[in-house]
Amino acid sequence: MFQLTGKIAVVTGAGSGIGQSVARVFASQGAEVIVLDLNQIAAESTADSIALAGGRADPIACDVGSADQVAEVFGRIERERGRIDILVNNAGIAHVGTIEQTTEAEMDQLYRVNVKGVFLCAQAAVPIMLREGGGVILNMASIASLIGLPDRFAYSMSKGAVLTMTRSIAVDYMKKGIRCNCICPARVHTPFVDQYVARHYAGREAEVMRQLSAYQPIGRMGTSEEVALLALYLCSDEASFVTGQAYPIDGGVLVG
């Protein structure tokens, strides 16, 4: 079950965190993973770790907010591999602040990466998938797309757009062999969280980490591996009856 043998999977933002875990899990299940990241060194590090584990991966630097770069990269993938079976739109950036605390430049950057990036990559992948009879698109949303979160105005805007793009793609292409779903995590413990806490709460790291963990009623943050395993299910043939759905993985936040 959940084998991806022979599949070509593109994972954006795969240089670290959730994207890195998704790339590793997919490769462990037989997929050839195209590791996309803004940072070439980070992409190569993920690809190297996959190769050491016996998997196949190709690192490519790509700014998902650049139409030219996305078109060039996806065109190259199709020329070299002939198809794309799976696209995981994971690349994204965070932001903390209310509407009063959000600048125009910050809003534009959140939109460029979190919304336009998903749009451009999905737009590039869909024609390739259609030519090969179908495929799977999985977008990384957030519980911020399902409920209101304090001090997350711009971030919530971007993830709400990811959710509605997911449903639109699902409706438009479900009869053409393309499934599209999204995952909505609560807080996930990644290197980004450690870096953010260290930068903004120096000397209070342990206290803040306890607070971040306690937000989830289950008492801890999620792990990137847990999200990756949900992604594996949704991108596998075992989920062939699932499309247009938003899957929370939230440690009980929505019911707590």
The CATH number given to whatever domain includes residue 142 is 3.40.50.720
Which of 232, 242, 187 is CA-nearest to residue 27? 232
Is the residue at 107 inside a domain?
Answer: yes
| CB-CB contact of 19 with 93 (8 Å) | no
Give the per-residue pLDDT at 191: 87
Is the residue at 116 inside a domain?
Answer: yes
Average pLDDT, rounded, for the chain: 97
Catalytic positions are 155
Is the residue at 255 inside a domain?
Answer: no
Is the residue at 192 inside a domain?
Answer: no
Is the residue at 58 inside a domain?
Answer: yes
Compute the distance between CA of residue 158 and CA of residue 112 in angstroms, rounded to an integer: 9
Is the residue at 196 inside a domain?
Answer: no
Chain center to CA of 169: 16
| CB-CB contact of 90 with 118 (8 Å) | no
Percent of the chain with pLDDT over 70: 100
**What domain count does the chain have?**
1
Is the residue at 201 inside a domain?
Answer: no
Could you tell me the residue range of the domain that residue 62 belongs to? 8-187+223-249
Is the residue at 39 inside a domain?
Answer: yes
Which of 213, 185, 256 is CA-nearest to residue 18? 185
The parts of the chain modelled with pLDDT lower than 50 are none
Q: Which amino acid is at 82?
A: G
Give the per-residue pLDDT at 196: 86
